[in-house]
Amino acid sequence: MRSSTSCWRTEPIVYGKGLRALSLATALILTGAFAMVFFYAPLDADQGFVQKIFYVHVPLAIVALCGFVAGGICAIQYLRTRETKWDMRSYVTIHISVILAVGVLVTGSIWARASWGHWWVWDEPMLVSFLIVFLLYATYWPLRFSLEDKEKQARYAAVFAIVAGAFVPLNFTAVRMAEQYIHPETLATTTGGMPGKFALTFVICLAGMALLFVTMIKYEMASKHATFRLRSLRRKLAGDDDELTLGGRSAAPQL
Amino acid sequence: MHLRGAGRRYGERIVLRDVSLELAAGRTLVVFGPNGAGKTTLLRILATLLRPHAGEVRVLGHVLPRDGHAVRGQIGFLGHEALLYRELTGRENLRFYARLHRVAPGRAAAVLDAVGMTARADDPVAELSRGMVQRLAIARAVLHEPALLLLDEPLANLDPAAAEQVAPLIGPGCGATRVVTSHDPAGGLQGADVALGLRGGRVAFLAPVAEVAAMQITELYR
Amino acid sequence: MRSTVAALLSKELTLELRTRESVPAMVLFSIATYVVFHFGLDRDRVAGDLAAGVLVVTLLFSGILGVNRLFVAEYEQGGFDGFLLAPVDRTAMLVAKAVALFGVLCVVELIALPAYALLLLGPSLTQALPGLILVLALTNAGIAVIGTLVAGLAIQTRARDLIVPLLALPLLVPVVLAAARSATPLLQDGGAGALPGNWIAILAIYDLLFALIAYAVFDFLLED
C-alpha cells in the first residue's frame, strides 16, 4: 500500500510498503499448504492423523531457529553501524521468533501427547532445545527493560542477541547428540528418505511459515515505526522536545 | 582541546546541548553551574568515559570517541568517586593503577609523599577519612603525569592545609591543561584563564576570566 | 595486554585474600547442596550417572554464586571508571575476571570434591581422579567464560542477582550435559571406565567457541 501522508514521503525508510501484497501471498500459501496437509499428503503408516502436526511443528521450529540467528546477525550489524534500525530489526526478529518458539512448544507437546501419551517427552531434541532457548530469550525483555539509557539498552541487547544467536545452533546440536541413541530424529525423516508427497507438502508448509514470519516482522516494524512517528510529531507540536518526558521506561527500541 | 556543538543525551533527556569551546594547552578552564547543569557530563566526555552523541570533540589533537584509546594515558580524571578499592590500602591501590598505566612503581611512592599520605599508605581505604581519600584520589589522578587534568570539585573535603599541599600537583602552576569545576565564584576564577557557565545543559557564558563578573556566576544558580 | 591481565589478577587475588568472601561461601554452599541432595533424593550414596549429575549440578550452582559477585566490587566502588581511564586493552578485564573465576572454582573444588567423596559418592575416586580432573577443569572453564560474560551483561541492570542465573543456566546447559556424560563412566560402581572422548571434545569445543564469542563481544559492554 502506498503511504499518503506527506510526512512519510520525506522518510528514507518507509515501512508498510508492499505489506498488503505480502499478506495476501502469505495467506494464499498458508491456505494452500494446509489444504495439502489435509487432502494431499498421505496418512503416515504408524502415527496416523496425528503425524500431520509435524507439518506445523517442524516448519515453525526451523523458521524460529533461523529467526534467532537472524536476530543475532542484525545485532552484529547494529554494533558495527550503530544505526537504530538494526536494533529495531534485531528486537522484532527475536520477538516474533519467541512467539513462534511458543508455538513449537505447544504443537510439540500436542504431538507428544497424541503419539506417546505424555504432554512432555525428553527424547524429542527439538522440543527440549526449544525449551532451553525459550528460557534464555525470555530474559531478553527484563534485560532491556532494566537498562534506562536507550543507547546502552540497544548495545547490551545486541550483545545478548549475538551470544544467544550463536548459542541456539550449538544448543540444538548438543541436545540432539545427547538423545540420538534413544530416539530417531525427526529431521532425518525430513532430509533423507521422505517420499515425494510428504516432501512436497513439507516444503510448501515451510515456505508458508517463512512468509508468515516475514509478514509478522514487517507488521510489527511498521506498527512500531508509526508509533514512534506519532510520538515524535506530538513532541514537536508540544514545542521543545527535551522538556517533555515521555511515559516511563520501555523495553522496546526507538527509531 | 576543541569542542564544537557537543551534545549528550540520557534516554529522552538532553543533558548537554551545543557546547562549543576552545582551550589552549597549559590553560585552565573553570566550569560553573548548578547541580545537574551538565558539568560532570562534560568532564566525563572529555575523559573518554562517555561518548558524545552530537557534535565534534577534540582532545589533545585526537578526535573523540574514535581515538579515545590514544589519549587516555595523558588524561588525569578526578571525579566525585575516588575510584579506589576500599578493601585495599592506598599504596596497593596506587601500585595497581601504576601497573595499569605502565608507570614505574617508584612513582606511586613519590606521589603518596607529594599528597602527604605516606604515613597512612598502608591502611585500607575504608578506614580513611574523606579528606584522606580525596588526597589519594588526587594522587591517583596525577600518577601518570597527565598532560590534561579534569578535576570535578578537587578541593572538596580538603582542609586548607591539604589544599595547599596538593596545589603543586593539580593547581594552576602544575603545567598541565586543566578543566576544573567549581561552586566557588571567587576561588574558581582565581587561577583560571577561561570561565564557562553551564545551565540546563547549555552554555550560559564563556569568556576569559577577566571579563566575567561574580554576578554572572550567581545568576546561574537562580 | 598480559601485564594488564597480571595487574588485574594480582588485584583480584589481594582482594579475595583480604576479604575472603567468595571461596568460603562457595565451599559451604557446595557441602550444603550435598546435604540437600541426600535428603531430596533419599540416598546414602550415589554412583554412575546420578553421581555425575549431582556433582556437576552442585558445581554449577556454587559457580553461579561466584558469578554474582564477580563485578560487584568494580561496580560499587567505581572501579570500572578507573579501568576505563587507563590506556589498556579493555578485553583484559574479561580475561582477568574469567581466569579469576576459574581459579576460584578450582580452589572450591579442592575441598568440595573430597567432601563429595566423603558424604555422598559411592565408588572410590582414586582411579577416576585424573579423568575427573580433566572434566572438572573443562567445566570450570565453561562456567568461567560464560559466567564472566553474563556477569558483564547483568552488572548494569537493577535486578542483577536474578538476571545472572536466568541467563547463565540456559547457556550452561550444554556444559552440564557434556560434563555429566563425561563423568558418568568415571563414577560408576564397578571401577572407573574409560573417558568418553566425544563428550570431552564437545565440552572443549563449546568452551572454545564461547571464549571466542565472549572475546569478540566484551568490549561493547564496557564502553560508553
- Nearest CB partner across the interface for C173, out of A132, A143, A156: A132
CB-CB under 8 Å, A150 with B13: no
B53/chain A closest Cα distance in angstroms: 10
Q: Nearest-CA distance from A235 to chain B in Å?
A: 11
Q: Which residues of C touch A136 (CB under 8 A)?
A: 167, 170-171
Task: Find the DSSP H helices in C20-128.
Answer: 22-41, 48-68, 72-76, 79-84, 91-119
Residue (of B79, B85, B37) closest to B199 by Cα position: B37
Q: CB distance A143–C167 less than 8 Å? A: yes
Please give the residue of chain B at the shortest CA–CA distance from A154. Answer: B11
Shortest distance between the Cα of A149 and any Cα of chain B, in A, equals: 5
d(CA A104, CA A95): 14
Task: Summarize pLDDT for B51-101 with one digit per residue, the tens.
Answer: 888 888 888 888 887 788 888 888 999 988 888 888 888 889 899 999 988
Q: Which chains touch B (3 or more CB pairs under 8 A)?
A: A, C
Give me the sign of the Cα torsion angle B184, B185, B188, B194: positive
Q: Which pairing describes strands B194-199 and B28-32: parallel, antiparallel, or unpaired? A: parallel
One-letter identity of residue A122 = W
> Residue B17 and residue A149: Cβ atoms within 8 Å?
no
Chain C residue with the nearest C-alpha to that of A140 = C167
Q: Can you spell out the DSSP letters for B13-73?
A: EEEEEEEEEE--TT-EEEEE--TTSSHHHHHHHHTTSS--SEEEEEETTEEETTTHHHHGG
Q: Give dist(CA C189, CA C111) in Å, integer.
A: 23
Position with higher pLDDT, C211 vs C222: C211
The string of pLDDT tens digits covering residues C54-77 is: 999 999 999 999 898 888 888 887
d(CA A99, CA A96): 5
Chain B CB contacts of A246 under 8 Å are: 12
pLDDT band at C44 (very low <50, low <70, confident <90, very high): confident
Tell me the pLDDT of chain A (255 aa) as tens digits: 444 444 444 444 556 667 777 788 888 887 777 777 777 666 666 666 777 787 888 889 999 999 999 999 999 999 998 888 899 999 999 999 999 999 999 998 888 888 888 888 887 788 888 999 999 999 999 899 888 778 889 999 999 999 999 999 999 888 888 776 544 445 444 444 556 777 788 888 888 888 888 888 888 888 888 888 888 788 778 765 544 445 556 677 765
Cβ neighbours of residue B38 closer than 8 Å, sequence gap 6 or more: B8, B15, B16, B19, B198, B200, B201
What is the tens place of the pLDDT at every residue in B8-54? 776 667 888 888 888 888 888 888 888 877 888 888 888 888 888 88
Distance from CA of B211 to the nearest CA of C (A): 34
**Cell numbers placing A19:** 505489506
Interface size between A and C, measured as CB pairs under 8 A: 76
Write the CB contacts of A50 (distance below 8 Å, at least 6 apart in sequence).
A111, A114, A115
CB B97 within 8 A of CB C111: no
Amino acid identity for residue B14 in this structure: I
Chain C: residues touching B (Cβ < 8 Å): 3-4, 6-7, 10-11, 14-15, 18-19, 73, 77-79, 81-88, 223-224
Measured from the Cβ of residue A164, the count of other Cβ atoms closer than 10 Å reads 24
- Hey, which chains touch C, using 3+ CB pairs under 8 Å? A, B
Contact criterion met (CB below 8 Å) for B59 and B46: yes
Dihedrals φ, ψ of A38, to 5°?
-85, -35
Spell out which residues of chain C touch residue B150, defining contact as CB-CB under 8 Å. Answer: none
Backbone angles phi, psi at C70, to 5 degrees: -60, -45
